[in-house]
Structure 1
Amino acid sequence: MSGSGFTLPNIYCPFPATTFNDRPNPATPDVARDVYALIDKLDGGTPLLRDAAAGVHLADFAGRLHPDVSPQGLALVFMSHLVFYGHEAWIEQGEAPGHYLSPLELNRTYDRALEVFDGASTASSDTLVADLLGHFGNTVRSFNRPENYARIRTALEGYLRSQVWERDFRNHREMPSLATYQAMRRNTSSTVLYLELFTLFFDLNIPVTLLDHPVVRQLQDMQANYTCWVNDIFSFEKELKEDGALNLIFLLREARNLSWQQAVDAAAEMVKKEATDYLDLKARLPRLGIPLAGALAELLDQEERWQAHCIVYQQRAPRFSVTS
């Protein structure tokens, strides 16, 4: 029972048991050293990125999240998390009392940041976001996988542009429709982007035509939904304390005229249904002429292990604590 008078449910997770608590990636110390040196450089004497990394136990979490990736893959894991949490810290700093980040400001910032991601030289006038994406782009290009680079670039832009949509609702203290929220949440959380990186994390050579198959794409969307909705449940108490609005539980309560407990339970039921529907669709792949073998099977397996890891992490990270 929470202090707010409702009970948070156990999260339904049919995905494999993990070694999250026991076996960090052996490359973690070396990769973490390089990433934290970059954090200190980009912070320029401020604690912004350092604090963001501390709030998610970045070195410990990233090193345990994918214990089997190569050092190159682990460097990309670190950088992808730094992009998300660093951008979030930057945008929250920009929305301090007295300053409103207009859609025009954000879009101009993202235009420039994407140029730097694509290889443009940085300038002293560039924002932290541009500097972060410059290093992120270099890390992605180091894999020399242009067919995947294009997809990652598209997902990255989707994440950035969705922030304009999210900030508009937050700044005006409004709530979108439930359907719109469900459609946008995968991008605002950067989950679409993160899933696109799995082919590089694990050096998986999957034809783009297979990744774009509507059934495979649906499986990826369902994985992203599961991630986002679990995240909403774990962060709900903190967002309720902060009077947040863009959370699945808030939207369910509004759309269906539910109590808080009913909305929490409805969200948990959505998580369970999405997971069971995902497993059902995955099992049908061979019947649809899509062999569940090779690199595709490994991709789905690694994504499922990631889901289970994330649940362990979110139960203990300071980021989701109502007292942090």
Structure 2
Amino acid sequence: MNGSGFTLPEIYCPFPVSTFNDRPHPATAEAARELDALIDELDGGASLVRDAAAGVFLADFAGRLHPDVSSQGLALVLMSHLVFYGHEAWIEQVDAPGHHLSPLELNTVYDRALEVFDGAATAPSDTLVAHLLEPFGNLVQASKKPESCVRIRIALEGYLRAQVWERDVRSRREMPSLATYQAMRRNTSSTVLYLELFPRFLDLDIPATLLDHPVVRQLQDMQANYTCWVNDIFSFEKEMQEDGALNLVFLLREARNLSWQQAVAAAAEMVEQEATDYLALKARLPRLGIPLTGALAELLDQQERWQAHCITYQQQAPRFSVTP
């Protein structure tokens, strides 16, 4: 039982945790030094990005999350996390009273940031978002795999444009429908983008036709749902203190007229059902003519381990603590 009068249920996780807390990537220390230098450059004497990175143990977490990727893969993991947490810190800053950007202004910021991601040089007048996407874009383009770059670019734009939707919902103080929230949450959290990066983290050659197979795509959506809903459960107590919070537990409570305890339990039931359905669909892949071997098997295995590691992480990171 916590101070709000409810008990968080145990989160169902059928995925294996094997290396999260005992074997960080051997290049973590060097990657952390490079990350620190980049953060200093991005902050320019302030502490916005540094505080965001500190709140999630960024270098240590990424090194333990992906202990077996190449050094280049680890750099991309770190940069993708920095894009998310740095962008989130920036948008919270511009949403503060007196700094609010209109949807048109925010889309203009994203237009320019995407130009930088595509290779345009940054200018002193550019926002932090553009400066974050410059090194991220360089790492993505370094693979010389145009098809993969296009997919990542599409997922990145989906993440950025979803922020405009989320800001609009929060400003209107209106809860979206449960179905709309579930569909948009995968993008607002950058989970779609992160899953799209996995073949690059792992240097896997998976044909686009396989990644775009409707069953494989459904598996990826279910992975994203699982991640987002677990995140919502762990963070909702902290979000109760925010103005205009948007969270699965909140939506279930309103849509079904539940108590807080009932709503968090309902969210946990959704998590368990999604994981169960995912495993059942994955088991049927060979019967559907999709061999569960090679790069696809490695991709799904690594994503499942990531799910379990994320649960461990969210129970430890200051980001999710309700303590001031």
Q: Please give the residue correspondences for 1:1-324 in structure 2 after superposition, counting only pairs within 5 Å.
A: 1-324=1-324
- CA offset digits 1:184-216 (Å, max 9, x no partner): 000000000000000000000000000000000
Q: TM-score, normalised by structure 2?
A: 0.99
Q: Which runs of 5+ in 1 are unaligned?
A: none
Deviations 1:273-298 (A, max 9, x none): 00000000000000000000000000
Cα shift at 1:236: 1.0
Q: Deviations over 1:101-145 (max 9, x none)?
A: 110110000000000000011111111100110110001111222
What is the CA-CA distance between 1:175 and the residue it aligns to? 1.3
Distance 2:177 2:167 in 1: 15
| Contact map agreement 2:222 2:278 (CA 8 A) in 1 | yes
Q: 1:2 Cα shift?
A: 1.2
Question: Percent identity over the alignment?
Answer: 82
**Counterpart secondary structure, 1:133:** helix
Contact 2:93/2:99 (8 A) holds in 1: no
Question: Could you list the per-position Cα deviations for residues 168-190 of structure 1 after superposition, in whole angstroms to 9, with x for gaps in the alignment?
Answer: 11122221111110010000000
Count of residue pairs the alignment pairs up: 324
Q: Answer yes or no: is the 8 Å Cα contact 1:18–1:308 preserved in 2.
A: no
1:74 positional shift:
0.1
Amino acid at match of 2:104: L
Q: Contact between 1:122 and 1:131, CA under 8 Å: does it hold in 2?
A: yes
Contact 2:65 2:309 in 1 (8 A): yes
- Residue pair 2:252, 2:263 contacting (<8 A) in 1 also: yes
C-alpha separation in 1, matches of 2:9 and 2:63: 28
User: What is the TM-score of this pair, normalised by structure 1?
Assistant: 0.99
Q: CA deviation at 1:34?
A: 0.8
Name whichever of 186-195 and 29-38 sits farther off. 29-38
Runs of 4+ with deviation above 4 angstroms? none
Could you list the runs of 5+ residues in structure 2 that have no partner in the other structure?
none
Tell me, in whole angstroms, the C-alpha distance in 1 between the residues paired with 2:18 and 2:167. 36
Deviations 1:197-246 (A, max 9, x none): 00000000000000000000000000000000000000011011335521
Residues in 2 aligned to 1:244 and 1:56: alpha-carbon distance in whole angstroms: 23
Structure 1, 272-281 or 53-62: larger mean CA deviation: 53-62
AA matched with 2:210: L
State how far apart, in whole Å, the 2-side matches of 1:17 and 1:93 are.
Answer: 36
Are the aligned partners of 2:171 and 2:244 in contact in 1 as well (CA < 8 Å)? no
The structural deviation recorded for 1:53 is 0.4
Q: Look up the SS of the partner of 2:88 in the other structure.
A: helix
For residues 84 and 104 of structure 1, the distance between their equivalents in structure 2, rounded to whole angstroms, comes to 21
For 1:278 and 1:2, the matched residues in 2 are separated by 31
Which amino acid in the other structure matches residue 154 of structure 2?
T
Q: Distance in 1 between matches of 2:238 and 2:179?
A: 23
